[in-house]
Structure 1
């Protein structure tokens, strides 16, 4: 199997989860709550749960494949270190401003998904020095037993960067994504890269088996848990699918990673215009992420002004920790309409960037964007 084919499948799946991610971020600015018993609202939120799991898992896979291309573990380690620190800087500066359009950085600071990805890459830069099997096995162990990281004393405020033990904001930074268990997901994704190098028939069987077992475990264990916890009278589908995301529970990881692994063989074979659209997004993940926050926030201000004569920017000064009063919230058709327009704009921007990057291999800095 060629390197091009392997990368194509990851690009397509990564592009798919990025599109889903945009739905959730439009939802943030629309003021619609994250979930609830209403099926339409619940599944609008639920489908986006695959985003961060896919983003982190395939970041590990891409790191492995890039390391195979380099043929030098030291070079890969240096790349991961530099890229990881670059992501952390972006999160605290450019992305923080795009999220909130609030230049007073001391007023609100966010440790979001890009922060988490950056520090996980920094950790992975060291971890890849370990034997390969130890990396992915340790990743699975971290994913399975990560609640033990929450047993430290609540007074260890700085520990909230690794795992939540209190509601404090260490150093004034609001931690949305902790490093554990996501570093375990990235390590497991790194191991998944070796699976993609196998003969196609064996690769497909392993993907179906691993992903199928994960899905099966989710349904068996999730059904038992949902049956035992009926407090609040929530519908069964909410109790089963409404798994904890911050930090992600083991069931959340099984629910989201299982289907992504099962779909990998089909992504290898996917052709057609829609697959190409997703691949365009997937080949420019960081460019897409940075731009989509700016475009969605700007679109929200415009939509609000058209609807009520006010941009309502004051409600977004701490985005994504924000919300609109009930009377100002959008309805779901408007949310999806804005999402569609945003994706069309992002497609043309990402296609231009992809062509520019491919046409300028001498610009080494483009590897970091």
Structure 2
């Protein structure tokens, strides 16, 4: 049984579902055979089931970042704007620090940090820093800014930079997924260009209005349904026109199934307009459908949704450790999984891995291991609300 809190359970439920799906994607990263040299969305080499396994996890990052904005609004509803600014700014810097120092360590197991990949925690942190300044603007202006960042950024898809000068690095941070060398032995990858992600967080912040204490629940469900249906309809219309909204247009493939896969094969790095529509649209419908529903299953997912940062680092660490055990069972070297997953030497583990069926089994085992740990930490947080530092974990 969950401890009673003032948190909005439907939001925690949605966050928990995508956190569990995130573990599937990361389990595939470490356990699926040939993952280091192949892309599950490459229509030349993928299978429908493998493509679906990757596609379903597309919902993780946008929902996670969108709800981070919503949580910021709800937190700010009990604080002054200066207090919210301080929280967002300092928490954002803290997340950037955790990404660079902790997240890269548990992903790579490389204390020398030869490879630094700036991923979703970095993006959330940097977006929070940006949001900390934007909260002083009227919400109508914030809506416009968020919509423009999401809808218009694909206009700049053809603009690419090279090199390691300041102008190029700034472009990599904001729009172009790219890596640059840091000396002879180190490399940094800007994996999550933040311009559209900032738009997603800003819209999530504005979305928080629907969950204000005085907002009518019936009206909220009406808006959730309309938002969800509009986003999904917009996806099909814009994708069908096939001119704008994603840097890779869909094409006719060898058969109908793969043509459908091409249609849904949208770009995540950076997230295209179509990517955002087809992920946040269904998320709105999820919030609409599950509001007020409470079962043992929803309670299960809510546990993960209430301790997202704790869960994130713990699940990556556990998956990486289990992957090392897996490669040892196959007669490989544990050192092959200390930096290879990040891309330093993928050829050394090209033959390592298991079938997709095994990946799903391992994923279920990982969630089963993490659940009691996360539940215990959730209860600890709920009973120790006065400890300010828990809001950063």
1:160 corresponds, among 162, 168, 172, to 172
Distance 1:121 1:363 in 2: 22
Which SS does the other structure have where 1:69 is aligned? coil
Cα distance change, pair 200–293 in 1 and its aligned pair in 2 (3 A)? same
Which runs of no fewer than 5 residues in structure 2 stay unpaired?
244-248
CA separation in 1, counterparts of 2:343 and 2:295? 38
Post-superposition CA distance 1:336-367 (Å, at most 9, x none):
11111111111111111111112222321111
Q: How many residues align?
A: 363
- Alignment match, 1:139: 146
**Partner Cα separation in structure 1 for residue 303 and residue 388 of structure 2:** 20
In 1, distance between residues paired with 2:181 and 2:88?
A: 25
Aligned to 1:119: 126
Aligned 8 A contact 1:302 1:311 in 2: no
1:95 equivalent to 2:103? Answer: yes
Two-structure CA RMSD over aligned residues (Å)? 2.3
Task: Point out the more displaced range, 288-297 or 323-332.
Answer: 323-332
Task: State the Cα deviation string for residues 134-186 of structure 1 (Å, max 9, x = none).
Answer: 1122101110001345566725321211111x744276421110111100000
Assess if the C-alpha contact under 8 Å between 2:118 and 2:192 holds in 1: yes
TM-score w.r.t. structure 2 length?
0.87
Question: 1:180-213: per-residue Cα shift (whole Å, max 9, x none)?
Answer: 1100000000111002232111100111001101
Match of 1:309 in 2: 331
Query: Residues 347 and 160 (structure 1 numbering): CA distance in 2 closer, same or farther, change over 3 Å?
Result: same
Tell me the residue number matched to 1:366. 390
* Cα deviation digits, residues 41-96 of structure 1 (max 9, x gap): 010101000000101100000000111122x1110110001110000000111111
Corresponding residue of 1:230: 251
Q: Which moved more, 1:242-251 or 1:325-334?
A: 325-334
Checking the alignment, whether the CA contact within 8 Å between 1:60 and 1:187 is kept in structure 2 is yes
SS for the counterpart of 2:242 is: helix
Equivalent position to 2:227, from 189, 210, 217: 210
Contact 2:66 2:201 in 1 (8 A): yes
Aligned mates of 2:392, 2:85 — CA distance in 1: 14
Q: Which residue of 2 aligns with 1:8?
A: 9
Query: For the structure 1 residues 153 and 265, does the alpha-carbon distance in structure 2 shift closer, same or farther, using more than 3 Å as the test?
Result: closer
Residue from 304, 307, 311 that aligns with 1:284:
307
Alignment map for 1:230-269 (pairs within 5 Å): 230=251, 233=254, 235-269=258-292
Q: Does 1:85 align with 2:93?
A: yes
Alpha carbons of 1:168 and 1:338: their partners in 2 closer, same or farther (altered >3 Å)? closer
Contact 2:235 2:278 in 1 (8 A): yes
Output the CA distance in 2 between the equivalents of 1:201 and 1:272. Answer: 21
Are residues 64 and 22 of structure 1, via their aligned partners in 2, closer, same or farther at CA, if it must alter by over 3 Å? same
Relative to 1, partners in 2 of residues 1:136 and 1:318: Cα closer, same or farther, differing over 3 Å? Answer: farther
Q: Aligned residue for 1:54?
A: 63
Unmatched tracts of structure 1, length 5 or more: none
Please, which of 333, 337, 355 is the counterpart of residue 331 of structure 1? Answer: 355
